[in-house]
């Protein structure tokens, strides 16, 4: 019976994409918070107010028969109302992108829930046409960041982030000058 069940499970499995997060095992929580804060461009506490699914397709080239090889994917865009900006531009809202495909690295947000979000900034340049060059800058996150529901964040992490935020704002003001 076990052999038959194992055989069924083995051959009925669908494609699974694995996510590998590089962890800093030797780091304390304090060091991990500082490292993540310094790596990302945007850190905030906010609530998801809108979710949008975006579909993309792009021609990757042509096969030996001259047929286009088309890549299709989707992204999820989450619009947040920011209640506490800890790093980044002074906005009251942010759009955070995650993979919409069934990858194991994507972070899934729920509408009307508050999160602490650590987000990277990326730039996508569509070079397919010199005339219609598209330059999109967007923010993204995944499960490899410290992003979490706010009710799962420790008081220690919040206090460390507030401290880093104050230092970061002072450093920016010294470089840019007062407003």
Q: Is the pLDDT of residue 118 over 80?
A: yes
Report the Cα–Cα distance between both ends of the chain, in Å, rounded. Answer: 73
Distance CA 9, CA 5 (A): 6
At residue 113, the pLDDT reads 97
List residues bridging with 52 in a β-sheet: 77
Considering the domain boundaries, does residue 159 fall inside one? yes
Distance CA 136, CA 79 (A): 17
Considering the domain boundaries, does residue 19 fall inside one? no
* Nearest to 52, CA basis, from 78, 83, 88: 78
Considering the domain boundaries, does residue 7 fall inside one? no
Considering the domain boundaries, does residue 5 fall inside one? no
Considering the domain boundaries, does residue 179 fall inside one? no
Interval 48-87: pLDDT, tens: 999 998 877 766 777 888 887 777 777 889 999 999 999 9
Q: Is the pLDDT of residue 91 over 90?
A: no
Considering the domain boundaries, does residue 24 fall inside one? no
State the chain's mean pLDDT as an integer. Answer: 78
Distance CA 169, CA 160 (A): 14
At residue 151, the pLDDT reads 97
Secondary structure class of 159 (helix, strand, coil): helix
Q: Is the pLDDT of residue 143 over 60?
A: yes
Interval 147-179: pLDDT, tens: 999 999 999 999 999 998 888 777 766 655 554
Considering the domain boundaries, does residue 15 fall inside one? no
Domain count, the chain: 1
Considering the domain boundaries, does residue 17 fall inside one? no
Query: Which range marks the domain in which residue 68 is found?
Result: 29-171
State the pLDDT confidence band at 97, using cuts at 50, 70 and 90: confident
Percent helix, strand, coil in the chain (nearest 5)?
25, 40, 35
CATH code of the domain covering residue 137? 2.40.50.120
Half-sphere exposure of 31 (CA within 13 A, CB side): 6
Distance CA 120, CA 40 (A): 5
């Amino acid at each position: 019976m076990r052999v038959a069940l194992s055989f069924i499970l083995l051959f009925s499995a669908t494609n699974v994409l694995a996510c590998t997060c590089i962890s800093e095992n030797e780091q304390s929580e304090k060091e991990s918070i500082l490292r993540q804060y310094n790596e990302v461009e945007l850190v905030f506490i906010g609530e998801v107010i809108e979710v949008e699914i975006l579909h993309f397709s792009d021609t990757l080239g042509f096969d030996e028969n001259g047929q286009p090889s088309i890549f299709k994917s989707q992204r999820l865009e989450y619009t947040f109302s920011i209640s506490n900006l800890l790093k980044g531009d002074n906005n009251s809202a942010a759009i955070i992108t995650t993979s919409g495909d069934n990858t194991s690295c994507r972070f899934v947000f729920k509408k009307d829930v508050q999160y602490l979000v650590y987000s990277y900034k990326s730039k996508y340049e569509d070079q397919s046409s010199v005339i219609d060059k598209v330059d999109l800058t967007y923010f993204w996150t995944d499960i490899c960041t410290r992003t979490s529901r706010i009710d799962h964040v420790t008081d220690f992490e919040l206090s460390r982030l507030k401290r880093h935020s104050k230092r970061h704002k002072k450093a920016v003001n010294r470089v840019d000058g007062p407003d």
